Amino acid sequence: MAVMQLDPLLKRLRELGDAARAAIESAPDAQVLEAMRVKYLGKKNELAGLMRQTGRLPAEQRPEVGKVANQIKEAINEALSTQRGRFESEERDRRLGEETIDVTLPGRPFARGRLHPIRLALREITESFTELGFEVVSGPDMEDEYHNFKALNFPANHPARDMHDTFYISGGGLLRTHTSPVQIRAMRERQPPLAVLAPGRTYRCDADSTHLPMFTQIEGFIVDRDIRMSDLKGILDRLIRRYFGEDRPFRMRPSYFPFTEPSAEVDILWKNSAGREEWLEVLGAGMIHPAVLENVGYDSRKLSGFAFGLGVERFVMLKYGITNIRHFYENDLRFLQQF
Amino acid sequence: MKYSVRWLKQHLHTDLPLNELIDTIEMAGHEVEEQLDLGLSSGKIVVGRVLKVEPHPDADKLKVCTVDAGLDKTLTIVCGAPNAAADQSYPCALVGARLPGGLKIKKAKIRGVTSEGMLCSAQELQMGPDHGGILPLPGDWTIGEPFDTILDIKITPNRPDCLSILGMARDIGAMLDTKVFPPKPRVKETLDHIEGFVRLDIVDRRACPRYTCRLIREVSIAESPIWLQRALDSAGLRPINNVVDATNFVLLELGHPLHAFDFDQVKESEIHVRPAEAGECLTLIDEREIELSPEDLVIADARRPIALAGVMGGRDTQVTHKTANVLLESAYFDPGLIRNTARRHSLQTDSSYRFERGADRNRPPLALNRATQLIEELAGGEVVKGILDIHATIAEAQPIVLEIDRVNQILGLRLTSTEIADYLVNLEFEIRRSDKESLVVAFPSHRVDVSRDIDLIEEVARLYNYNRIPLTFPKIIAAAKPPAPLDRLVEQIADHLAAMGFCELMQYSFISEADTAAVGAEPALQPHLANPLSSDQAILRPSLLPGLLRAVESNQKLGEAGLAFFEIGKVWPPNAKVADAEGEKQELALALTGPAPKHWAGEDRTYDFFDLKGMVETLAGHWADAPLVFESAQPSAAFHPGRWAKLVMQGTTIGEMGELHPDLETTFDLRGRLYAARIDLDAVADLSAQKATRFSPITKYPGSWRDLAVVVDRQVPAGDLLASVRRAGGELVEALSIFDVYVGEHVAPEKKSLALRLRLRSPDKTLTEEEINATVTKIVDQLGKQFGATLRS
């Protein structure tokens, strides 16, 4: 057996390595790449063929050849892996490209619900008072003469009752014309000091373009020692600024409600449709009449209080620029979906 | 009441511009509801005097007037009114004026003649109907002065003293610190005394605390002079004749109603103020015949009632053009009595309006003399000497003790005794005693609203000006209770439903009888309104459902198809009692109909029973730990008998849901099937108050899934089957669902196959295959025993 020369063998090994890397790098697809892998690293690979020839080398030269062969094997492996990675990445890019969708098409629709604007306003206003420590109290819509009128200092058979167009219930009773009867109920059930908010439905027997037979009121009142009209102004100022925003001037005008004295109508300055500022009435208020305190057994010399009542529909109309009060209870989606 | 600013200013001496005057009136507590600008604001409608009237060269019916409107030169105004006359003043609208109706006055050529303004009629000024042309004005009104502005002012029921020109002037005067004086009429009398002519008798002194009258003989009835006619129509009253107009003038000027009788028609010259007798009738001035009752107070002569006291006179004794002798009445009647009478006969007159609010009981003699003086001036005649005046002795109202501290405590001010006294004196209150701590205050008889210290405190606040009161903040009451569970529940439900796609509605609390009956309620048992605005709004709703159906109906008509509505509100059970807060129930109602939202990639799908059921289940999951049970039983009238369930939570029925019964189409015009639910929120609130959330430790042992397909008779309710599985499997059954229901060729007829998916898990250990199989076998055996169920092969 002829003795192998070392250098030609190393040279052939290196040539093989170079050829393999070049072939791998130029493999057009994964299939060819696999064939390359079999060719260069498979059971009958060329490298192994060359390596079998090392037996013909002197023993001291064999480790050198083994080292070079391993380097070449690693290089081939690395080239294979790089190339395989390239193919996988190209394949993924292709697949992702194929999966492209039109993101501007509409999403799967989910019906959007709404809360009624009256609920939204009730919440907003109620929250602004409960955070001050007011308790929310309710009373019946179907009231009696005593709570709706008599206990609130409406004298029997007096024109003051004409201020309220009342719905009567057949067989006795009425639909409350305001939320003020809750004052009487709440005061009887509690002892001062008390701060109460009473939202609810109220009813008047008139309907025209600006009045509904049913509307929503929020009544608020405080009874304690030393409650002053200036306190009422402080609370109203806060209410108006919270609901209508800062810089919303308001004024109080003397008025008459049998259950408060002094009584006031509260106007806010508002731009009308012609752009001119004018005073708009938004709520009624006053110091609770001593006769009302006496009617619930309170000592009117020691205690005083204030009360206010606001029409929620009116508040909502002003805030959102709603011009027709009838929208609230007509349940037209074109209205309801705006809130 | 309508107030002429021109007339007010005759008594109230002020230079305030109109807008400030209006502000003052409003800050005195009198709301100016409407402002009819007839020149005071714009300056463009003035008193104009016609100097010359010439025929129009080119039109028979038109005249060319030369008018002095107080300007540098006279105006040429073309006028079509038949009564346009020289040396007569009229309201003259200048070029640039805008009439109340919106008409803008421009320089215009009318048939070749340039007209530089317009002479106005009453109708053009919206002061009432025309009396045959343009409106003549008194000759002593200054030419070129603005004509007038009419304020319509709302007088609150506590201030009848302001229902007159003088009363209003007095109240504004107090605000402006100017004094207003009442007239001091002087009457020329004959020598004969009235006692010789008239017999006066007051039967009921409580009903008529004061009655005064005068007799004026030989009057000449005629049309009133222009100044008087203008005064009446500025307030919207119709001029009639000089005597009647004089009484109406005093009504407007002083606020005290009077009545004039044709004395020759008063039988036996007797005046009796007495209750009517049952069966008596009276024909009123307006020709209405009324039947009187003993609760009515009448003015009667010797034989019959001749006037309904304080409300309206009788036809037979009214002053007509033939009247020669006038008996003039000025009285004070009990407010409650007048109010009852006016209401009983559905009559509201300028007179009853004032008496029922409370006239000034000391005013009758002054009003009587003022009217007498006017009649004497306008209708001539002779005034018989003396006044018949019968009155009960009226105890003077007790003066009020006003503590200065209390004034300041109530208002949040620091006023001194002197400052307070000054305000009250401005209002004609009398300070009887004063020191630093208190005042003793007597009040004038026209202030019928005053009886205690708080009334005076209000007056002080009013004159001080509410807007000068400072802003302070009350002590905050910290011991607030948490919101009522029901209130919290309602807000939570509203939010959940909105998030699930439901739109919230609010409806009137009252509905029609048909709608009540349609949902199975008995209309006769529901509370009814005695005076509904319409029969559609007569019954307090037993349920929110009819309202929701009406809303679906109207929105379907607008072209909306897929609808999900809810409402939360009060309903009234049958026989609900008045003033019973507990008896009024809070209900939640849901309605779902039409197509579910359609996606371009999905299929068309209509909402069905299980859509609503799923939503209700999700919602109810928030309320209690136990699942909501859907029981089929006898449905209520509104629902499809085969698609209905009673909703039971922890053994309590909380509502119902189902598909609407097709019979409801007779009442509601609905398109397509509709699914609805109603839930008693009071019941839910009680149950959810019991909900006690407890943490259970999270188990570390794995769970195992098992699927079972069981075949049972079709009518076996799935809910019963599931309950049985849970019972048989015990606490190892962690999750259980039905993932398929099959009916068809692969199972026997009358049978169905239900595919169940179970997850078994133990908190203590990993379950062995044997344990799992044993549990499944137990379940299958139980289903076999209970329902004849077999495993599907």
Q: Are residues A207 and A321 in the same domain?
A: yes
Q: Give the closest residue to B161 by CA, choosing from B361, B311, B296.
A: B361
Nearest to B529 among A109, A116, A167 (CB): A167
Decide if A183 is inside a domain.
yes
Q: Are residues A274 and A155 in the same domain?
A: yes
- Beta-bridge partners for B35: B151
CB contact under 8 A, A233 and B409: no
Integer CA distances (angstroms), B740 to B605, B628, B707, B712, B719, in order: 19, 21, 11, 14, 14
Decide if A137 is inside a domain.
yes
Q: Give the closest residue to A307 by CA, choosing from A216, A221, A189.
A: A221
Is the minimum CB–CB distance between B782 and chain A shorter than 8 Å?
A: no
> Alpha-carbon distance B23 to B172, whole Å?
10
Is the minimum CB–CB distance between B533 and chain A shorter than 8 Å?
A: yes
Report A:222-251 residues touching B (Cβ under 8 A): 222, 224, 226-231, 233-235, 237-238, 251
CB contact under 8 A, B474 and A138: no
At residue B213, what are phi and psi to the nearest 5 degrees? -150, 160
- Asked if the ipTM is above 0.85, the reply is yes
Q: Are residues A85 and A131 in the same domain?
A: no
More confident residue, B691 or A199: A199
Q: Give the closest residue to A202 by CA, choosing from A216, A192, A190.
A: A216
Decide if A109 is inside a domain.
no
Q: In B, which residues are within 8 Å of A132 by CB distance?
A: 476
Q: Are residues A249 and A294 in the same domain?
A: yes
Q: Are residues A158 and A93 in the same domain?
A: no
pLDDT tens by residue, B60-83: 889 999 999 999 999 999 999 999
Q: In A, which residues are within 8 Å of B510 by CB distance?
A: 213-214
Q: Total domain count for chain A?
A: 2
Q: Give the closest residue to B666 by CA, choosing from B644, B634, B637, B635.
A: B637
pLDDT for the residue A37: 86
Nearest to A262 among B458, B481, B502 (CB): B458
In this predicted structure, which of A72-86, A312-326, B625-639 has the lowest mean pLDDT? B625-639
Give the pLDDT band of residue A36 (cuts 50, 70, 90): confident
The proportion of chain A whose per-residue pLDDT surpasses 90, expressed as a percent, equals: 64
* Burial (CB count within 10 angstroms: exposed 0-12, middle 13-18, buried 19+), residue A273: exposed
Q: In B, which residues are within 8 Å of A177 by CB distance?
A: none
Q: Under a CB-based contact definition with an 8 Å cutoff, are residues A198 and A213 in contact?
A: no
Report A:256-295 residues touching B (Cβ under 8 A): 256, 261-265, 287, 289-290
Q: Are residues A19 and A138 in the same domain?
A: no
Name the domain boundary from A98, A133, A158: A98
- Beta-bridge partners for B705: B759
Helices (H), B512-668: 513-518, 545-557, 609-620
Q: Are residues A197 and A287 in the same domain?
A: yes
Any idea what the CATH number is for the domain that residue A327 is in? 3.30.930.10
Task: Spell out the residues 6+ positions from residue A18 whose beta carbon is closer than 8 angstroms to its own.
Answer: none
pLDDT for the residue B690: 87
Neighbours of B711 (CB within 10 A): 20
Report A:36-95 residues touching B (Cβ under 8 A): none
Residue from B531, B550, B612 to probe the interface with A (highest A Cβ count within 10 Å): B531
pLDDT for the residue A271: 84
pLDDT for the residue A158: 85
Decide if A112 is inside a domain.
no
The three-state DSSP-derived secondary structure of B137-199 is ECCCCCCCCECEEEEEEECCCCCHHHCCHHHHHHHHHHHHCCCCCCCCCCCCEEEEEHHHCCE
pLDDT tens by residue, A270-316: 888 788 888 989 999 999 999 999 999 999 999 999 999 999 999 99
Decide if A224 is inside a domain.
yes
> Alpha-carbon distance B755 to A39, whole Å?
55
Decide if A110 is inside a domain.
no
Q: Are residues A272 and A216 in the same domain?
A: yes
More confident residue, A10 or A288: A288
Name the domain boundary from A64, A98, A132: A98
In this predicted structure, which of A315-329, B650-664, B683-697 has the lowest mean pLDDT? B683-697
At residue A250, what are phi and psi to the nearest 5 degrees? -135, 160
Name the domain boundary from A67, A98, A129: A98
pLDDT for the residue B436: 95
Q: Are residues A47 and A154 in the same domain?
A: no
Q: Are residues A46 and A188 in the same domain?
A: no
Is the minimum CB–CB distance between B503 and chain A shorter than 8 Å?
A: yes
pLDDT for the residue B477: 67
pLDDT tens by residue, B715-748: 999 999 999 999 999 999 999 999 999 999 999 9
Mean of pLDDT values over B92-98: 94
**What is the least distance, in Å, from the CA of A262 to any CA of chain B?**
5
Which chain B residue is nearest to residue A304, measuring alpha carbons? B410
Nearest to B477 among A110, A195, A234 (CB): A195
Q: Are residues A54 and A161 in the same domain?
A: no
pLDDT for the residue A23: 87
pLDDT for the residue B479: 59
pLDDT tens by residue, B560-577: 999 999 999 999 999 999
pLDDT for the residue A275: 84
pLDDT tens by residue, B305-341: 999 999 999 999 999 999 999 999 999 999 999 999 9
Does the structure show a pLDDT above 80 at A1? no
Mean of pLDDT values over A158-176: 91
Residue from B20, B154, B156 to probe the interface with A (highest A Cβ count within 10 Å): B156
3-state helix, strand, coil in chain A (%, to 5): 45, 20, 30
In order, the DSSP letters of B383-395 are: EEES-EEEEPPPP
Decide if A107 is inside a domain.
no
Decide if A111 is inside a domain.
no
pLDDT for the residue A2: 54
Q: Give the closest residue to B84 by CA, choosing from B67, B103, B99.
A: B67
Mean of pLDDT values over B525-548: 95
Q: Are residues A14 and A122 in the same domain?
A: no
Q: In A, which residues are within 8 Å of B498 by CB distance?
A: 113-115
Does the structure show a pLDDT above 90 at A6? no
Mean of pLDDT values over A142-152: 96
Structural domain for A312, as ranges:
117-336
Mean of pLDDT values over B259-282: 96
Nearest to A119 among B494, B599, B600 (CB): B494
> Alpha-carbon distance B767 to B773, whole Å?
10
Mean of pLDDT values over B675-703: 91
Report B:317-346 residues touching A (Cβ under 8 A): 335-336, 339-340
Q: Which two tokens stand for residue B309?
A: 């006291």
Mean of pLDDT values over B168-195: 93
Full-model pTM: 0.89
CB contact under 8 A, B498 and A256: no
More confident residue, B102 or A4: B102
**What is the least distance, in Å, from the CA of A91 to any CA of chain B?**
28
The proportion of chain B whose per-residue pLDDT surpasses 70, expressed as a percent, equals: 99
Report B:566-605 residues touching A (Cβ under 8 A): 570, 572, 576-581, 583-584, 596-602
